[in-house]
Homo-oligomer: A and B are copies of this chain.
Amino acid sequence: MIKVTGYAAKHSFSRLKPYEFERDDPAAHEVEIDVLYCGVCHSDIHQVKNEWSNTVYPCVPGHEIVGRVTRVGPAVKRHAVGDMVGVGCMIDSCGQCAACKDGDQNYCGSPNSWLATYNGPMKPKAKAGGENIYGRDNTFGGYSNIVVVKEDFVLKIPANLRPEVAAPILCAGVTTWSPMRRWGVKAGDKVGVIGMGGLGHMAAKLAKALGAEVTLFTTTKDKIAEAEKLGFKAILEKDKDAFEKLEASFDFILSTVPEKHDLNPFTALLKQDAVLCVVGALEPLAPLDNMQLAQMRRSVAGSLIGNLAETQDVLDFCAEHGIGPEIEMIRIQDINDAYKKVEKGDVRFRYVIDMASLKEEIAGEA
């Protein structure tokens, strides 16, 4: 048993506070990781507040984890002590279903779906006919000093990628990368990105590095200039004239808005046969105008994170192209304030927790 310290919410209404728990020592195929950095994802907030009505408490969030391998199980082949590694949203999947066999662990079709890095199986046993193939009703994420993860679910952080910058790529990066690959975004395409937060600004950078011409859409006036500073065109969502000029001109649009949002102004911007993919919101979408979809055989799709190969791929792609998220480092003691700022859209553009702050606290120095 390993003694671990994390930050946890005990109830939907409570702040994150220090929380001590135990993890099992690494089994044959597992690695132990000393957590150095952990990104703060908007979904951490949804989950802590039980906004998806599925939160298991105590809730230790964190699925954008970067750290160094400190111990490996006897059968581990992919990683060695001292390696800089990452863990994203998943830490296990059934490995037996059609999706897993195709390498799409994020669409695992087992009764429990995949095992999330925190909050347990994606389909808890109550929804899986009482089954729990993972034997764990809850899991504790990366807002903690140590994680223990199956080696196959541990990614390699390229040497020329700063580890703190790599952290948000493990969720925000792959969540936007996967659909862009799936729907074939390529050089010369016109790509729209709705929302300019953690996911949106990352999507824009990835699409640009793929050679696409990127337009960001935002509801925040200040972000127009910020987008330009990052090298992107940006348009205010209420600018009807601009929207009219862009009708039927986009090859692909990605919505990264983390809440219900009217997509109809955007489906009108899609070319014939083009797709608008929603990765931000998991709740019901506002009613879609099917006339607008049918008129040009447009589609609206959803996509959930990405598989392990895509996650390694986007880490390598970022290293190769010298890109990564814009991050602001915070101490874990400031996490509750950080959540408020994320909800207000005040972060530019992703908070990353420096886990040195947690270690100082454990050592009685914080």
The digit string for A74-114, where 1 denotes a CB below 8 A from any CB of B, is 00000000000000000000000011000010010100010
State whether B248 touches A296 (Cβ < 8 A): no
State whether B288 touches A109 (Cβ < 8 A): no
**Contact residues, A236-292 vs B (CB, 8 A):** 248, 264, 272, 275, 278-279, 281-292
Is the CB of A68 closer than 8 A to any CB of chain B?
no
Is the CB of A302 closer than 8 A to any CB of chain B?
yes
Known A-B contacts A109-B248, A272-B99; A300 and B278 likewise in contact (beta carbons under 8 Å): no
Which residue of B is nearest A178, CB measured?
Answer: B297
Is the CB of A301 closer than 8 A to any CB of chain B?
yes
Is the CB of A312 closer than 8 A to any CB of chain B?
no
Is the CB of A160 closer than 8 A to any CB of chain B?
no
State whether A302 touches B287 (Cβ < 8 A): no
Known A-B contacts A297-B303, A303-B297; A287 and B286 likewise in contact (beta carbons under 8 Å): yes
Chain B positions within 8 Å of A304 at CB level: 294-295, 297
A182 vs B299: C-alpha distance when bound (angstroms): 12
A301 vs B292: C-alpha distance when bound (angstroms): 10
Chain B positions within 8 Å of A201 at CB level: none
State whether A288 touches B288 (Cβ < 8 A): yes
Residue in B109, B278, B298 whose CB lies within 8 Å of A302 = B298
Copies of this chain per assembly: 2
Is the CB of A293 closer than 8 A to any CB of chain B?
yes
A35 to chain B, nearest CB (A): 27
Number of interface residues of A (CB under 8 A): 40
A254 to chain B, nearest CB (A): 12
Known A-B contacts A272-B104, A289-B284, A291-B283; A301 and B299 likewise in contact (beta carbons under 8 Å): yes
A52 vs B290: C-alpha distance when bound (angstroms): 12
Known A-B contacts A304-B295, A304-B297; A284 and B288 likewise in contact (beta carbons under 8 Å): yes
A293 to chain B, nearest CB (A): 3
Most buried by B among A122, A264, A285: A285
**Contact residues, A282-331 vs B (CB, 8 A):** 282-304
Which residue of B is nearest A291, CB measured?
Answer: B282
A272 to chain B, nearest CB (A): 5
State whether A290 touches B297 (Cβ < 8 A): no
State whether B290 touches A283 (Cβ < 8 A): yes
A324 to chain B, nearest CB (A): 25
A318 to chain B, nearest CB (A): 23
Chain B positions within 8 Å of A289 at CB level: 283-285
Please provide the 8 A-B residue pairs with the shortest distance between their CB atoms, ordered closest to farther.
A293-B302, A294-B302, A299-B301, A284-B287, A282-B291, A294-B304, A299-B299, A107-B272
List residues of chain A with CB under 8 Å of any chain B CB: 52, 98-99, 104, 107, 109, 113, 122, 179, 182, 248, 264, 272, 275, 278-279, 281-304
- A and B contact pairs by CB, cutoff 8 A, 8 listed: A104-B272, A282-B290, A282-B291, A283-B291, A291-B302, A295-B302, A297-B303, A298-B302
Instruction: Supply 16 further A-B pairs (C-beta < 8 A) apart from A284-B287, A286-B287, A293-B301.
Output: A98-B272, A109-B248, A278-B290, A283-B289, A284-B289, A285-B287, A287-B287, A288-B288, A291-B302, A292-B302, A293-B302, A294-B302, A295-B302, A295-B304, A299-B299, A300-B301
